[in-house]
A and B are shown apart, each in its own frame.
Chain A
Amino acid sequence: MEVKMISKKSIKNKVSGTQNYLTTWIKSFSGSLTIFCLIILSFLPFFSQDRAYVSYFIPQFTFFFIYAIFAASWDIATGLAGQANFGQSIFFGLAGYIGGALIIEMGVPSWIAIIIAVIGATFIGFLVGIPALKIKGPYLMLVTLVLSFIILRVLATSHSGPPLYGYEGISGLPKLNPNPIIEYFILFISLIVCFIIMMSISKSKLGTILRSIRDDEIGSEASGINTMKYKLIAFMLCALFSGLAGIYFGLHYQTVNPAGNLSMTISFLAIIMAALGGIGTIRGSLVGAFFYVFLEFVLVEIGLDMDVVHIVFSIILLLVIRFASRGLLAPLLDRLRDLWDVLLGR
């Protein structure tokens, strides 16, 4: 009887707690900032009817959405759970391959292919997580890196016919939607959903357990936590979101190939973006991905070569690690918050 009362009460508390949380969040600085960005992003595609704007500028945001999901997924296994993973391209690329092969070879509708690709990526995450049960730190980094090389070589040297098409990769994939504005909104909504899920994981008790493994694995085990299980969960979650980003990426480019979807550059892209934003923060990946996509856009527009752009990013990453190891997000938020307080006269 008493237990029942308590549970009813706690549910009520939880509901009103969520409402309270939402209202205070919206009024808070980061809440207002988020709402502001969401509004801007919702109206952005309608600012101009210009062809170049719609078919060239808007797709940059599509990239930003994909990369933000991708970088944040890396942050789950590495930033939260502390499992050094340099093979993020495995999930990203293989999900693209699974989805692409299903669409081209079996004529599966895109949406079903996306779902199967994500499930497949999650399973691959489980398999990659198994070595992580015994291997730690730099060694795990090497294992995941080498694993991604092996998969890249296997796919690149595979038979040049169906289903994998060797080095050329799978091409002729349908766009998510032929209209760039609709594609923009599909990815925008995916981004919002993914971030709500990832942020709630990070704030949940699961997030606490993952962080405890990162900070002190033996201590976590000594606290009665099945660290093996949670490391696998971290890898599977990481692969799930990474796979979603990967299949979206393939469908956006309408092709999946070893060099573009499985190379080491792809893995480093995730790491650079997450590190720029702040490792272990999840939402930092948003800032990192935005920064990356638009700085690249500007640099390429100026007329710099792609290799030069990569050198610029490497230097920026070094500077960030040296002078702002928390990433760009935290200091950026602090500055903006000060400005906000001044503007509101607080």
Chain B
Amino acid sequence: MGVLLEVKNLTKKFGGLTAVNDFSFEINRGEFIGLIGPNGAGKTTIFNLISGMEKPTSGSIHFDGIDISGKLPFRIVNLGIARTFQLVRSFKFLSLLDNVQVSCLSKRGKAASKTIGTEAYASSILRSVGLIDKASVPPIVLPHGDLRKLQIAKAIGSNPELLLLDEPFSGLSYEEQVGITDLIKKLHSEGVTIFMTGHVLRELMALVPRVIAMHQGKFIADGPPSEVANNKIVLEAYLGKGEGFA
């Protein structure tokens, strides 16, 4: 096993606002972890810091023993961390195949697709997420559920070891959520370490064996979902009005 991602005393300030405050945690290789917290807790900022989209004010992030804090996003991808975004983003004038192929053309994606070529590699990814029959259409014609699948397909094109999924269920119907859940489970069983956020707690808690909870940029709890769900501080952070949870 061993530690794959080690975040130590991570702090990010935007002017006077402290979005992430002295945050520390570790992720082991092969784990499946959720990051929860109310809206504005700083979940996306944590992802932005890990993926290099933002530079930390202080603190460090180590991936596989390498210090990645403040590195450029594409270098972090090529070290083996891929991410998806809360709002879907796609290359809107490229076909789905090319959308996925872009990440296969990254240094790490090229190494992974060396034997079969990036095009065949991208098609195999599209097949595994169930979008192969739409390979030649641009993403603008896709329904939201398929766009979410495309996000994951684009992320795994670079053959990541750690996959950061930012709100992969947001805006999906129940059926679509099931599809994405199966996809994530399959990726995890293939050995990808998964770290995901969500504020729709029921789905997330049912999926992951371990969750980290945060509130107003601070770490508040870490443990199995059942424990975290009954943690007093977590309940206070989420509810505050006596409405039962889970």
Contact = CB atoms under 8 A, between A and B. Distances in A.
A137 interface: no
Nearest to A208: B98
Interface string A1-33: 001001000100000000000000000000000
Nearest to A2: B115
Q: How large is the interface on A (under 10, 10 to 19, 20 to 34, 35 or more residues)?
A: 20 to 34
B84 to A, nearest CB: 9
B74 A219 contact: no
A216 B118 contact: no
B51 A208 contact: no
Contacts of A214: 93
A202 to B, nearest CB: 12
B74 A225 contact: yes
Nearest to B93: A215
A286 B44 CA distance: 47
Contacts of A6: 115
Contacts of B78: 224
A221 interface: yes
Given A3-B115, A209-B102, A224 B77 contact: yes
Nearest to A6: B115
29 contacts: A10-B117, A205-B101, A208-B105, A209-B102, A211-B94, A211-B98, A212-B98, A212-B102, A214-B93, A215-B92, A216-B89, A216-B91, A218-B73, A219-B85, A219-B90, A221-B72, A221-B77, A222-B77, A222-B85, A223-B74, A223-B158, A224-B74, A224-B108, A224-B158, A225-B102, A225-B105, A225-B106, A226-B74, A227-B74
Given A222-B73, A224-B108, 19 more contacts: A6-B115, A208-B98, A209-B105, A211-B93, A211-B94, A215-B92, A219-B85, A221-B72, A222-B74, A222-B85, A223-B158, A224-B78, A224-B106, A224-B107, A224-B109, A225-B74, A225-B103, A225-B106, A280-B93
Q: What 4 A-B pairs come out closest when comparing CB atoms? A: A224-B106, A224-B77, A223-B103, A215-B91
